[in-house]
Amino acid sequence: MNEREDQRSATEPAEPTEPAEPAGLTKAELQILEFEKSWRKIARVKEVAIRETFQIAPFEYYLCLGRVLDSPASFAAEPQLVGRLRELQWKKMRERTSGTGAVGRPAPDAAPIDGLDVEG
- Residue-wise pLDDT tens for the chain (120 aa)? 555 555 544 444 444 344 445 668 999 999 999 999 988 777 678 999 999 999 999 999 999 999 999 999 999 999 999 999 999 989 988 888 876 554 555 445 544 444 444 444
- Residue 118 has a pLDDT of 45
DSSP state of 100: S
**Dist CA 32 CA 39 (whole Å):** 10
DSSP state of 18: P
**Dist CA 118 CA 120 (whole Å):** 5
- Residue 98 has a pLDDT of 79
Question: Domain ranges in the chain?
Answer: 24-98
- Residue 115 has a pLDDT of 46
- Residue 22 has a pLDDT of 60
Q: Could you give the angle at the alpha carbon of 109 between the alpha carbons of 105 and 112, nearest 5°?
A: 70
- Residue 3 has a pLDDT of 53
Cβ(95)–Cβ(75) below 8 Å? no
DSSP assignments along 32-95, one per residue: HHHHHHHGGGSSS-HHHHHHHHHSS-HHHHHHHHHHHHH-HHHHHH-HHHHHHHHHHHHHHHHH
CA 110 to chain centroid: 37
- Residue 52 has a pLDDT of 92
Rounded to 10 degrees, what is the CA torsion of 78, 84, 90, 91? -170
